Amino acid sequence: MMTSIRRRLLAGLLAVVLCAGLIAAFGVYLQARREANELFDYQLKQMALSLRDQTFNPFAAADPPELGESFDFVIQVWGRDGVRLYYSHPHPHLPNRARLGYETVATPDGRWRVFSLQQRGLTFQVAQPMSVRDELAATAAFRTLTPFLLLLPALGLLVWFTVGHGLRPLEAMARAVKARTPSALQPLPDSGTPVEIRPLVAALNDLLQRLDRTLGAQRRFVADAAHELRTPLTALRLQIQLAERAATAEERAAAFATVKEGLTRAAHLVDQLLTLARQEPEGAPRPVETVDLGELAREVIAEHMLLATSKNIDLGMARSEAVIVSGDRDGLRVMLGNLVDNAVRYTPGGGKIDVCVFSEADGAVIEVVDNGPGIAPEDRVRVFDRFFRGAGQEIPGSGLGLAIVKNIAERHHARVILTDGPGGRGLAASVVFPRQ
């Protein structure tokens, strides 16, 4: 079910106004009742005082005057001996004895307000039902509330237009967001924006900025991938043509061997491209679990041991501490696998590769150290760019391994540091995880 801010605000404001009106009416009712009580108490007293000069005898009570049903007061007069000399309107539930002053008496017919006084040996009592006073107060409150009830529809329209005017900035912001396209993700304007929606504008601008970066990275990725794949595919096509034109079996076998090598490189490039796409920092969320870096390093070493042995490279675990981090286990395996794979590829035969896992003040560290050719200091920033390969590199590769390492490290809020190996020879690639 759709929810309308306009309707919610209108209903809420009208409800508040109506409740305030009812509370005000109740306050008016209480005030009118208090004033009516004061007025009628004064009237009771004045009526009792006006009876002081009257003459009463026991026979007057036998023939009470015709006062009608609308008469609101009951008057009683008693003599010195307690004999009732006069009553204006018989009421069986009023007390037959009077307490001087004001008194509120509860009867089966409701509450009565009674005033009594003594003068010239006579006791005068004037009583009035409280329902008369309550009815008068309610009438006064209703008359006060009537104009408000009549104006409520007009007030609703006024609130409707006021709320609509207040929501115009949101409508303008919606139009501005709708105008954005994948090729035009410029920030939303925040000048003149109400304070209440500035956090929304800031959040949308941050989203647009991240989306622009992601789309830009995807466009660059597709362009770079197309460019990098064009060369090996062109080479494969030429090698196949050479194989078709080969005059001897030896020439044909050499051509097909070159084709096989090219296919291997192309397959590796495609595999690296897919891995890079899966490990983008802003990709789909991945499960977070507890990972033992030492155990993970031993698994990766075992996976690359056959290749290292074939090149007579000493690959092993030089330092292993109990280091636990939280992250994506598969992603961390790919990251460490690329570091070890690069080290094995570029380290010459008879070399040595050490994998270290330890803790330091900055956090957990996993390090791959080799005694190969290393990376020139001026290239250590650019090697993380996609498809970048340093000058003089003869080892075939895709130029994506360290880009993948960087993406996975950034997703785990870790830093990748490249330094010289022991004795200034080779390369030490360290991934430093923040302390958890």
Lowest-pLDDT range of 7-11, 58-62, 332-336: 58-62
Task: Supply the pLDDT for residue 355.
Answer: 92
Q: Say yes or no: do domains 196-278 and 289-432 share a fold.
A: no
Q: Is the Cβ–Cβ distance between 91 and 127 less than 8 Å?
A: yes
Mean pLDDT of 345-365: 88
CATH architecture of 196-278: Orthogonal Bundle (1.10)
Rounded to whole angstroms, how far apart are CA atoms 191 and 386? 39
DSSP code string of 325-367: EEE-HHHHHHHHHHHHHHHHHHSPTT-EEEEEEEEETTEEEEE
Query: pLDDT tens digits for 113-168?
Result: 888 888 877 888 888 888 888 887 778 777 877 887 787 788 778 878 887 777 78
Domain extent listing, the chain: 5-155, 196-278, 289-432
Rounded to whole angstroms, how far apart are CA atoms 120 and 88? 20
Query: pLDDT tens digits for 230-262?
Result: 656 776 777 777 777 777 877 778 777 777 776
Rounded to whole angstroms, how far apart are CA atoms 114 and 45? 9
pLDDT over 80 (residue 323): yes
Rounded to whole angstroms, how far apart are CA atoms 415 and 406? 8
Query: pLDDT tens digits for 375-419?
Result: 888 887 877 776 666 554 555 555 667 887 888 888 888 999 898
289-432: what fold? Heat Shock Protein 90 (3.30.565)
Strands 110-119 and 122-129: antiparallel
> 294: closest CA among 362, 369, 359?
359
